[in-house]
Amino acid sequence: MGRIEGLIKAYEAFVSQPWSRGLSGAERTWFAVYEPAQERRLLLRVPEFANATAKAGHGWKHVDLSNAFAEWMAGHKYREAYFEDPEALDLALADFTAHAVACVKGALAAPDVDENTVVALTGAGALFGLAKTSDILEQVTSLTRGRLLVFFPGRYESSRYRLLDARDGWNYLAVPILARNGD
C-alpha cells in the first residue's frame, strides 16, 4: 500500500469514530500529515477523503488556499508597486494573512456547514513564506463546529508539526492522522 493510500485508510478509520462534542476548536482540528513530495498525489485523492467522510455519515466542505495569494495580489491596489519592489511586500503580508483567515472563516461559517461537517483545508504548503499556518489556525479554530481537516505537507514528531520539513515545528492541540503502514 502506498503512503497516500495508507493515509486514506487511516482517515477512513478516524472519521468513522464517534465525535466528541465538548471539545475546543483546536481539539476539533485534524491534521492529515503526509510527505511534501506526495502533495500532487494527495490532491488527486482528495475526493476519496470526501467519499470516506460521506460514508461515515458526515458532511464535507473543501476550501483550497493554493491560489489565495494570487487572488489577493490580483485585487491589491499596490500590486504594481510590489512587482517593482518585491521587498516592499513584506509590509503587506499581514493583510494577506487576514485574507487567508477570511477564506477559511467563510468556509467554516457557510450555511451548509454544521457540527456534523468536515471542513477540509488544502493549500497549506502554498502559504509557506507568505503566512504561517499556525497564525491562520489560531484565528479560525474557535469557529469550528464540526471538524477542521488540514492536509499538512510536513512532519509530525514528538507532538510537534513541521510544515514542509523546513520551519521549526510548533506544538498544537490538533489530532494527527498518520498513514497506516499496511493492513
**Residue 95 confidence (pLDDT):** 87
Distance, in Å, from the CA atom of 172 to the CA atom of 174, rounded to the nearest integer, reads 6
Tens of pLDDT along 69-116? 889 888 877 767 777 777 777 777 888 899 999 999 999 999 999 999
- Within 13 Å and on the Cβ side, how many CA atoms surround 9? 11
More confident residue, 172 or 4: 4
Full DSSP string of 65-114: -TTHHHHHHHT-TTHHHHHH-GGGGGGGHHHHHHHHHHHHHHHHT-TT--
The pLDDT score that the predictor gives to residue 183 is 44
How does pLDDT run across 148-174, given as a tens digit for each residue?
999 989 888 777 776 666 655 555 777
Cα angle value 26/31/37 (rounded, 5°):
150
For range 34-53, the mean pLDDT: 95
The model's pLDDT over 135-145, given as tens digits with 9 standing for 90+, comes to 899 999 999 99
Domain spans of the chain, in order of start: 3-65+98-177
Name the DSSP class of 124.
Answer: G
Angle, helices 39-55 vs 3-15, to 10°: value is 30
pTM for this prediction: 0.90
> Residues 14-42: pLDDT tens digits?
999 999 988 988 889 999 999 999 999 99
pLDDT given for residue 1 in this prediction? 57
pLDDT of amino acid 102: 95
Any idea which fold 3-65+98-177 has? Rossmann fold (3.40.50)
Q: What is the pLDDT of residue 136?
A: 92
